[in-house]
């Protein structure tokens, strides 16, 4: 690891840790209903919303009611988005006169944004009208992030409460997280982005005369408003096809750093919220430490392999030694503005979290450099993770770690005074099983069917015995990455894969859509069921015999469980993709 | 702590257990039995699949690597058999104990003098020849039988008339006979014990087959074993892991076909079997049975596995003061003179006043006064004055010498009546003793107050250390006593218990347990009396003393045959050991997978992608680079992993049966220790073991 990367990581995680405390405490106060300054200003608006919507803000939900409200809200908003996308041609805010979005693409995109995945089988600027982008998609960027945080808070409440069946009111939580957390932050953030050069306009494409005299239309639109929540809500769906590599989405090194920072801001803050709400701050920091360790290991690994570059090119005479004017390494698919370290940091962070925004092409990474983002997603995006989703995901791993290791101290495993029973374990198992099934089975289906293979870009140079399709490990990686990204609700891609084309509109649209939907909502139901089960239990006061959930031992245990469970599940498939590709190159 | 026991632990590799266990291992291959254990069931199905395909391929003349496939099949079946063998061994050890118990149940006859439901009044006393002689197995709950001296008691029951000495050595291993009588706390008798003297009229408490011994037999044999809550949770997690690996392995075939290859069922099953947690899956039920077995070795019988598991979780231990923490009677601890009196004078008077006192207190005073070596002769013509409830004094009258000892107010009244003066210094001494929870007895000679005898409860030696040990385990000890709070406090402080419940009534005990449980704590207690029954039933772990009443035994979920209340400590340790063994072996099992991946994956993928030589380098297979252990060949790599996977089950049987050693450390220290041994050890050990097996396999030219 170079000194500059070391400094970058130190500054980055130092700032994250610093920002985490006030933001985490603020979020705690928002959800425990304690008075905040913003609460005094915006309180009347909040009450007005409840009155208008007929919500009894004092009535709390059981886990089933909470889950039902979450599902109803998500499915309903997904339908609205679907309709807007299909009908955008007839709706205002369409200065480039784009046609309605094709049926399968509309389904895939609506699912994608509802599930906080933001997988994009299209180029935003040439497919979506301004209205679709700014209203349909951006609102989902808010809602899906809000829902994630609500579910995480409901789970933390379930853990911290005892002998109750109430987890809070979903509608109240949803309104509060938007009104007090997401909206105010995004307003400020969007203005900052504009100051850096991100555009925000409702005017149509700019017309430009190129050097050789041709007229070029440069597509633009309301970008900053979408960009802010895209990062802060770990959504990742770019306004432009090039995502955060586009100069109008991410113009400067400062905007680049702030964008990466904003991906982790809320997920990291939720660690502090966890510690505050369960009244065990050290536990929150232990979880934070575990996440930080895995994140740094991943980023350093990406940077290492990207700096190393591609040995095949060395054989062809490419420069393999970094110098002042040549960074060497693998610069394919990377912005010169950001360089290898800036791209590695972005790639690690965007896949640790379920963001999926990119400032470089993951598909062009070296095999093992590209393995890391894929593995990050496959671990369940619990390294800070998606807003809310990362927190509830990591808590599932905490439960499994506590269950496995808790037995080793000679007691029925207990987490923060709650004894773990077979129901908790069954639900946690479901949480781990579903994404693993979705990823592995759909990937197998993808490479086993002609329609699935049709989307693959990378093929072998020569024919391969027993096949007609010139298989290459990187082709498998593209499919594996796509389904990992969908089931993990990430949204980034090995973009060589053509997931939507006029010839094959259905296969990936449908199966990625199923992956996204079932990678999100059944897990949310399982999490809320665990929350309900936890809330019911009595709390056992901690004693010298209770399992310690803070300190280096616990942090190490949590890291080990996350890595071992994730790695054991995906190691065989990864062996046939990036790992063998690596050995082929070396 | 256990006294000599009839339930001696058998040597682990006793052939008497091994031979039937080997047979049982085969019997357990029955899929209906196997289905209860999802992990091993998958292994059995996999083995079956590979075997059938092998035969099919041979039959149709397809090219088969017979040597490799055959070895693979043999080791896959061994994996299942070894797991079955572990379970059968644990059960066998239980059965050996059950056989001892069953001897007691050999059919006896009984003299039934009244059938169940019959309302006819019983003739009091023992009438020879009355009643019908019936087989013990025909007795029903509510029947009344009469058992004369020399006969076996035919069934568990309650004495309704008579008193007799009973030999209970068959179940307790204690050779001294015990007295059993109607009424009170010693009225329960157990079937299979023998009346030595007199006779007993007993109302049968159990229908045949549900008696105490029957339940014991069923439990130690494992026949009635039901999975405990914790075991169920673990089974679910293991099943989930199995499912994940099933999908991870099954999807490999389409991935391989994408590259134009095929992995084949044999190696896929081999990979699956190595990855799913067979080590813990194979040993899980053996661990549970062995936990029960260890309890029996400590002469404790549990009515359910759930109780054993709960014992590991105990937060609060309620111990009766009398008989458990203290000797149960107050003993003279000190003689305190009133200023101006010679110590020897007080000693003599105290001794004289107690010589005729046959109570333990009186004897202890005499012993204490003689400690100085002095001998006090009884004055001639001495007349004993016994203690009465009215005078609350005892002593002797010898001529005009009147020596008394007794409760302070009674003695003061006595002195005043004789016209004596009460020294001002007396009251502070008396108050001081009472303040420490002791009992002050004032000693007088005539009208002269000599001093005070300090009686106090004596804590048994070694109790403090045991409570320290419990505290280290994170268990709170609570002393229960009928004493007043002051006395209770002194004893509690002396014994080192954390808390006490003074002036305890059965209701107070029940309320205390309830309060603790409301706070989320698990409570264990011991008891023997009928009035303990509600609290025993309420407690999470209720250990009834074997000497106790039938009601107490029915209410609790364990019975201690030694009737040793401090046995609770061992019971808790056994419970913890059970959970720790499960956790440690699970961790070990999962950690093993890393090495297995590195031995099998390179081997099974090695045929794939051999075509893709790039950059001028000939590459037979890029995958063989993953073979970090440098195993000899793909075949030997796969075989070595499968062989390791099977052998590790056998290797861990002793650990599963004996349990991971429990140390009374804090949770953090225990966790660190076990994580290093079973987690890190589980990662590293198979790398070494698989490499060694690979060397052996190649050395024997098997792969």
DSSP character string of A516-564: HHHTTHHHHHHHHHHHHHHHHSPPPPP-TTSPP-SSHHHHHHHHHHHHH
pLDDT class of B611 with cuts at 50, 70, 90? very low
Cβ atoms of B325 and B459 within 8 Å: the answer is: yes
Q: Which residue has the tokens 């957390």?
A: A181
Examine the pLDDT at B614 and tell me if it is beyond 50: no
Contact call for A422 and B622, based on CB within 8 A:
no
Q: Say how far apart CA B693 and CA B686 lie, in whole Å.
A: 10
Contact A409 B255 (CB under 8 A): no
Residue with tokens 């059950």: B98
What secondary structure does DSSP assign to B335-399, as a single string?
EEEPTTS-HHHHHHHHHHHHHT--SHHHHHHHHHHHTTS---PPPTTEEEE---TTT-EEEEEET
Lowest mean pLDDT among B93-102, B431-440, B503-512: B93-102
Q: What's the token pair of residue A182?
A: 């997401």
How far A578 CA lies from chain B's nearest CA (Å)? 11
More confident residue, A522 or B299: A522
**Chain B closest CA to A403's CA: distance in Å?**
8
- Closest residue of chain A to B661, computed from CA coordinates: A410
d(CA B399, CA B382): 7
| C-beta atoms of B520 and A433 within 8 A | no
Is beta strand B157-161 parallel, antiparallel or unpaired with respect to B188-189? antiparallel
* A&B contacts, CB < 8 Å: 229
Q: Between chains, do A548 and B521 touch, taking CB under 8 Å as contact?
A: no
Q: Pick from A286, A396, A408 the residue to mutate for testing the B interface (most B CBs within 10 Å).
A: A408
Question: How many CB atoms are located within 10 Å of the residue B181 CB?
Answer: 17
The answer to whether the Cβ–Cβ distance between B520 and A409 falls below 8 Å is no
Note whether B154 and B139 are within 8 A (CB). yes
Chain B residues closer than 8 Å to A445 by CB: 254
B281–chain A nearest CA distance, Å: 14
What pLDDT is attached to residue A455? 93
Q: Which of A400, A422, A437 sits opposite B247 (nearest CB)?
A: A437
Query: A323 Cβ partners below 8 Å, 6+ apart?
Result: none
**Chain centroid offset of residue B218 CA:** 17
What sections of A161-280 are H helices per DSSP? Answer: 170-176, 183-196, 224-232, 253-277
Q: Which residues of A touch B519 (CB under 8 A)?
A: 538, 541
Measure in Å the smallest separation between the Cα of B157 and chain A Cα atoms: 36
Q: Do B667 and A409 touch (CB under 8 A)?
A: yes
Q: Which residues pair with B109 in a beta bridge?
A: B135
Does the distance separating the beta carbons of B472 and A570 come in below 8 Å? no
Grade residue A319 by pLDDT with cuts at 50, 70 and 90: confident
Give the C-alpha separation, A225 to A239, whole Å: 10
- CB within 8 Å: B671 and A408: yes
Residue B106: the pLDDT is: 56
Residue A218 and residue A208 in contact, taking contact as beta carbons nearer than 8 Å: yes
Q: What is the pLDDT of residue B104?
A: 58
Position A412 scores a pLDDT of: 87
Query: CA B203 to CA B183: how far, in whole Å?
Result: 12
A353 within 8 A of A384, measured Cβ to Cβ: yes
Average pLDDT of the residues in B111-116: 80
Q: Given an 8 Å threshold on Cβ–Cβ distance, is A436 in contact with B244?
A: yes
Residue of B229, B519, B611 lying closest to A541 (CB–CB): B519
Question: Smallest Cβ distance to A408: which of B584, B622, B666?
Answer: B584
**pLDDT category of residue A314 using cuts at 50, 70 and 90:** confident
**B6 has a pLDDT exceeding 60:** no
Spatial CB neighbours of B121, under 8 Å, sequence gap ≥ 6? none
Distance from CA of A36 to the nearest CA of B (A): 34
**Which residues of A fall within a CB distance of 8 Å from B260?**
464-467, 471
Average pLDDT of chain B to the nearest whole number: 83
Nearest chain B CA: its distance from A476 CA (Å): 8
Interval A412-420 mean pLDDT: 91
Question: Nearest chain B Cα to A312, which residue?
Answer: B615
**In sequence order, what E strands does B517-564 have?**
523-527, 541-545, 558-560
Q: Are the C-beta atoms of residues A357 and A238 closer than 8 Å to each other? A: yes
Give the model's confidence band at B602: pLDDT under 50 very low, under 70 low, under 90 confident, else very high. confident
E strand or H helix at B451: strand B448-459
A411 vs B312: CB contact, 8 Å cut-off?
A: yes
Distance CA A480, CA A571 (A): 12
Measured between beta carbons, the chain A residues lying within 8 angstroms of B667 are 409, 411, 544-548
Residues of B with a catalytic annotation lie at 320
CA atoms of B544 and B557, how far apart (whole Å): 8
Distance CA B41, CA B124 (A): 62
Q: What distance in Å separates the CA atoms of residue B204 and residue B154, rounded to the nearest whole number?
A: 9
Please say whether the beta carbons of B86 and B12 come within 8 A: no
Q: Provide mean pLDDT across the span B8-14.
A: 63
Q: Are strands B144-148 and B109-114 parallel, antiparallel or unpaired?
A: antiparallel
Compare all CA atoms of chain A with the CA of B575 and give the residue at the minimum distance.
A410
CB atoms B667 and A560 under 8 Å: no
Structure tokens given for A489: 């609700």
Cβ–Cβ gap A584/B614 under 8 Å? yes
CA B424/CA B274 separation, integer angstroms: 86
Query: By the 8 A CB rule, do A205 and A96 touch?
Result: yes
B75-84, B354-363, B468-477, B652-661: which has the minimum mean pLDDT?
B354-363
Is A350 in contact with A356 (CB distance < 8 Å)? yes
Q: Is A448 exposed, middle or buried (0-12, 13-18, 19+ CB in 10 A)?
A: middle
User: Which chain A residue has its CA at the smallest distance from B251's CA?
Assistant: A444
Q: Taking phi first (over 0 means left), then psi (-120 to 50 degrees means alpha), and beta for anything else, what does residue B213 get?
A: alpha
For residue A222, what is the DSSP state?
A: B
Average pLDDT, chain A: 93
- Cβ B520–A541 below 8 Å, yes or no? yes
Nearest CA in chain B to A466: B260
Q: How far is A302 from chain B (nearest CA, A)?
A: 20
Mutation target vs A (from B240, B255, B313, B524; most A CBs, 10 A cutoff): B255
Question: With pLDDT > 70 as the criterion, what percentage of chain B qualifies?
Answer: 90
What was the pLDDT predicted at B630? 86
Q: What is the DSSP string of B620-644?
A: S-GGGGG-TT--S-HHHHHHHHHHH
Range of lowest pLDDT (A58-67, A509-518, B127-136, B518-527)? B127-136
Q: Which residues pair with B404 in a beta bridge?
A: B395, B444
Name the burial class of residue B388, with classes exposed (0-12), middle (13-18) and buried (19+) by CB atoms within 10 angstroms of its CB: exposed
pLDDT at B615 over 50: no
Of the candidates A400, A547, A573, the beta carbon closest to that of B255 is on A573
- Hey, which of A55-69, B257-271, B318-332, B588-602 has the most confident mean pLDDT? A55-69
- Shortest CA distance from B674: residue in chain A: A408
Apex A142 CA angle, A137 and A147, nearest 5: 120
pLDDT for res B491 = 83
Which residues, in sequence order, are CB contacts of B385 under 8 Å at separation 6+? B356, B391, B393, B394, B395, B396, B397, B404
* Closest among B267, B252, B245, B263 to B71, alpha carbons compared: B267
**How many CB atoms neighbour CB A58 within 10 A?**
8
* pLDDT tens figures, B361-378: 888 888 888 876 777 777
For the cut 50, the answer to whether the pLDDT of residue B3 exceeds it is: no
**3-class secondary structure for A388-440?**
CHHHHHHHHHHHHHHHHHHHHHCCCCEECCEECCHHHHHHHHHHHHHHHHHHH
Nearest to A548 among B584, B619, B668 (CB): B668
What torsion, rounded to 10 degrees, do the Cα atoms B536, B542, B545, B550 define?
Answer: 50
Share above pLDDT 90 across residues of chain A, in percent, rounded to a whole number: 80
A227 vs B159: CA distance, rounded Å: 86
| Count of helices and strands (H, E) across chain B | 24, 22
All residues of chain A having their beta carbon less than 8 Å from the beta carbon of residue B595 are none
Q: Which of A410, A433, A471 sits opposite B258 (nearest CB)?
A: A471
Closest CB from B229, B245, B579 relative to A410:
B579
Checking if the pLDDT of B469 tops 50, the result is: yes
Can you point out the beta strands (E) in B460-546? 476-480, 499-501, 523-527, 541-545
**B639: pLDDT strictly greater than 60:** yes
Contact call for residues A256 and A338 (beta carbons, < 8 A): yes
Question: What backbone torsions phi and psi does residue B317 show, to the nearest 5 degrees?
Answer: -115, 120
Which structure tokens are listed for B114? 């009244």
A11 phi and psi, to 5 degrees? -65, -45
Cα–Cα distances in angstroms (integers) from residue B112 to residues A434, B108, B157, B212, B328, in the given order: 65, 12, 13, 20, 40
Contact call for B260 and A464, based on CB within 8 A? yes
Mutant choice from A410, A463, A561 vs B, greatest count of B C-beta within 10 A = A410
H or E element that contains B410 = helix B408-417
Considering CB atoms only, which of A441, A464, A560 is closest to B611? A464
Q: What is the model's pLDDT at position B507?
A: 82
Tens-place pLDDT, residues A551-572: 999 999 999 999 999 888 999 9
The CA angle A13-A568-B698, to the nearest 5 degrees, is 130
Largest separation between any pair of C-alpha atoms in chain B:
126
Instruction: Pick the more confident residue, B154 or B548.
Output: B154
The kind and range of the H/E element at B401 are strand B401-407
Residue of A nearest to B261 (CA): A466
Q: Do A408 and B614 touch (CB under 8 A)?
A: no
pTM of the model: 0.86
Question: What residues contact residue B380 under an 8 Å CB cut-off, 6+ apart?
Answer: B398
Q: What is the chain A residue with the closest CA to B582?
A: A407
Q: Hey, CA dihedral for B673, B674, B675, B681, is it positive or negative?
A: positive
């Amino acid at each position: 690891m170079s000194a500059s990367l070391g400094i970058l990581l130190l500054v980055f995680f130092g700032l994250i840790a610093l920002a985490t405390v006030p933001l985490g405490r603020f979020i705690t106060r928002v959800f425990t209903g304690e008075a905040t300054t913003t609460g005094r200003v915006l309180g009347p608006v909040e009450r007005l919303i409840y009155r208008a919507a007929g919500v009894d803000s004092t009535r709390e939900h059981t886990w089933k009611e909470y889950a039902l409200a979450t599902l109803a809200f998500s499915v309903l908003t997904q339908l609205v988005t679907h309709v807007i996308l299909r009908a955008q041609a007839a709706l205002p805010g369409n200065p480039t006169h784009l046609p309605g979005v094709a049926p399968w693409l509309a389904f895939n995109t609506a699912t994608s944004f509802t599930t906080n995945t933001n997988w994009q089988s299209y180029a935003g600027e040439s497919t979506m009208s301004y209205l679709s982008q700014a209203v349909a998609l951006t609102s989902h960027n808010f809602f899906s992030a809000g829902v994630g945080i609500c579910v995480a808070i409901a789970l933390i409440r379930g853990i911290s409460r005892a002998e109750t069946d109430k987890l809070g009111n979903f509608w109240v939580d949803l309104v509060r997280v938007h009104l007090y957390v997401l909206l105010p932050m995004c307003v400020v953030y969007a203005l900052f982005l504009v100051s850096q050069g991100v555009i925000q306009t409702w005017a149509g494409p700019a017309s430009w005369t190129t050097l050789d005299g041709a007229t070029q239309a440069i597509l633009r639109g309301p970008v900053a408003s979408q960009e802010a929540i895209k990062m802060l809500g770990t959504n990742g769906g770019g306004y432009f096809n090039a995502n955060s590599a586009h100069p109008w989405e991410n113009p400067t090194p400062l905007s680049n750093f702030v964008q990466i920072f904003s991906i982790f801001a809320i997920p990291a803050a939720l660690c502090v919220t966890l510690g505050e709400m369960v009244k065990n701050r050290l536990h929150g920091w232990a979880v934070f430490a575990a996440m930080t360790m895995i994140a740094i290991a991943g980023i350093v690994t990406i940077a290492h392999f990207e700096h190393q570059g591609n040995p095949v090119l060395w054989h062809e005479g490419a420069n393999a030694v970094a110098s002042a004017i040549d960074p060497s390494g693998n610069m394919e698919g990377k912005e010169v503005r950001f360089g290898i370290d800036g791209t590695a940091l972005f790639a690690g962070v965007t896949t640790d979290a379920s963001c999926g925004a990119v400032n470089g092409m993951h598909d062009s990474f070296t095999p093992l450099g590209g393995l890391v983002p894929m593995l990050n997603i496959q671990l369940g995006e619990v390294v800070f993770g998606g807003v809310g989703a990362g927190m509830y995901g990591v808590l599932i791993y905490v439960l499994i770690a506590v269950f496995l290791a808790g037995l080793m101290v000679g007691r029925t495993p207990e987490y923060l005074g709650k004894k773990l029973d077979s129901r908790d374990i069954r639900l946690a198992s479901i949480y781990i099983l579903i994404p693993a099934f979705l990823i592995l089975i759909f990937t197998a289906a993808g490479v086993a069917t002609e329609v699935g293979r049709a989307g693959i870009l990378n093929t072998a140079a020569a024919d391969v015995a027993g096949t007609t399709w010139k298989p290459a490990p990187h082709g498998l990686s593209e499919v594996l990455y796509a389904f990992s990204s969908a089931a993990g609700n990430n949204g980034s891609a090995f973009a060589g894969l053509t997931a939507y084309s006029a010839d094959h509109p259905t296969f990936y649209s449908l199966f990625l859509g199923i992956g996204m939907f079932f990678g999100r909502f059944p897990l949310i139901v399982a999490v809320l069921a665990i929350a309900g089960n936890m809330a019911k239990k009595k709390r056992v006061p901690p004693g010298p015999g209770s399992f310690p959930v803070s300190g280096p031992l616990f942090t190490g245990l949590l890291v080990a469980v996350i890595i071992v469970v994730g790695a054991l599940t995906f190691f065989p498939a990864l062996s046939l993709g990036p790992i063998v590709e690596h050995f082929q190159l070396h | 702590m256990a006294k000599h026991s009839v339930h001696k632990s058998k040597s682990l590799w006793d052939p008497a257990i091994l031979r039937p266990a080997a047979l049982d291992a085969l019997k357990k291959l029955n899929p209906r039995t196997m289905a209860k254990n999802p992990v091993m069931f998958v292994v059995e199905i996999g083995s079956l699949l590979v075997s059938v395909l092998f035969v099919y391929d041979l039959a149709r003349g397809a090219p088969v690597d017979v040597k490799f496939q055959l070895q693979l099949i043999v080791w896959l079946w061994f994996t299942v058999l070894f797991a079955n063998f572990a379970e059968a061994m644990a059960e066998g050890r239980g059965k050996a104990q059950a056989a001892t118990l069953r001897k007691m149940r050999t059919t006896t006859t009984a003299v039934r003098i009244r059938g169940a439901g019959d309302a006819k009044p019983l003739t009091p006393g023992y009438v020879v020849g009355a009643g019908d002689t019936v087989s013990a197995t025909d007795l029903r709950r509510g029947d009344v039988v009469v058992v004369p001296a020399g006969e076996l008691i035919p069934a568990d029951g309650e004495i309704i008339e008579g008193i007799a000495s009973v030999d209970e050595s068959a179940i307790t291993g204690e050779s001294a006979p015990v007295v059993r009588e109607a009424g009170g706390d010693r009225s329960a008798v157990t079937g299979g014990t023998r009346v030595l003297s007199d006779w007993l009229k007993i109302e049968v408490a159990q229908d045949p087959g549900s008696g105490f011994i029957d339940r014991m037999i069923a439990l130690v044999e494992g026949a009635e074993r039901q999975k405990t809550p914790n075991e169920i949770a673990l089974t679910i997690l293991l099943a989930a892991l199995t499912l994940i690996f099933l999908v991870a392995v099954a999807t490999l075939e389409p991935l391989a076909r994408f590259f134009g290859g095929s992995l084949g069922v044999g190696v896929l099953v081999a990979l699956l079997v190595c990855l799913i947690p067979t080590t813990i899956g194979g040993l899980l039920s053996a661990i549970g049975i062995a936990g029960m077995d260890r309890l029996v070795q400590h002469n404790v019988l549990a009515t359910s596995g759930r109780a054993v598991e709960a014992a590991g979780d105990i937060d609060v231990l309620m111990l009766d003061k009398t008989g458990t923490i203290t000797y149960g009677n107050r003993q003279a601890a000190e003689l305190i003179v009133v200023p101006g009196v010679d110590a020897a004078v007080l000693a003599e008077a105290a001794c004289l006043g107690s010589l005729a006192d046959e109570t333990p207190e009186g004897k202890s005073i005499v012993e204490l006064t003689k400690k100085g070596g002095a001998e006090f002769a009884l004055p001639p013509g001495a007349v004993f004055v016994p203690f009465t409830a009215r005078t609350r004094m005892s002593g002797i009258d010898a001529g005009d010498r009147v020596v008394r000892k007794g409760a302070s107010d009674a003695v003061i009244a006595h002195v005043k009546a004789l016209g004596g003066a009460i020294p001002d210094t007396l009251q502070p001494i008396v108050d001081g003793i009472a303040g420490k929870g002791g009992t002050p007895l004032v000693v007088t000679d005539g009208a002269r107050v000599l001093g005070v005898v300090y009686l106090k409860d004596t804590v048994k030696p070694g109790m403090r250390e045991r409570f320290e040990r419990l505290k280290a385990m994170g268990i709170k000890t609570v002393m229960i006593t009928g004493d007043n709070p002051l006395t209770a406090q002194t004893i509690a402080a002396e014994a080192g218990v954390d808390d006490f419940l003074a002036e305890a009534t059965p209701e107070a005990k029940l309320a205390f347990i309830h309060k603790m449980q409301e706070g989320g704590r698990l409570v264990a207690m011991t008891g023997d009396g009928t009035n303990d029954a509600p609290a025993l039933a309420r407690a999470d772990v209720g250990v009834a003393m074997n000497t106790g009443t039938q009601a107490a035994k029915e209410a609790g979920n364990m019975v201690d045959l030694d009737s040793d209340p401090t046995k609770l400590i061992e019971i808790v340790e056994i419970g913890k050991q059970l959970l720790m063994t499960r956790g440690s072996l699970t961790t070990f099992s999962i950690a093993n997978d890393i090495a297995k991946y590195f031995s099998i994956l390179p081997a099974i993928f090695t045929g794939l992608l051999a075509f893709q030589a790039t950059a001028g380098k000939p590459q037979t297979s890029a995958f063989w680079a993953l073979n970090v252990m440098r195993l000899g060949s793909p075949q030997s790599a796969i075989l070595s992993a499968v062989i390791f996977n099977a052998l590790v089950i056998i290797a861990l049987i002793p650990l599963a049966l004996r349990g991971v050693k429990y140390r009374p450390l804090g949770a953090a220290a225990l966790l660190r220790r076990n994580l290093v041994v079973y987690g890190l050890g589980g990662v590293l050990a198979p790398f070494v073991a698989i490499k060694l097996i690979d060397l052996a396999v190649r050395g024997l030219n098997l792969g």
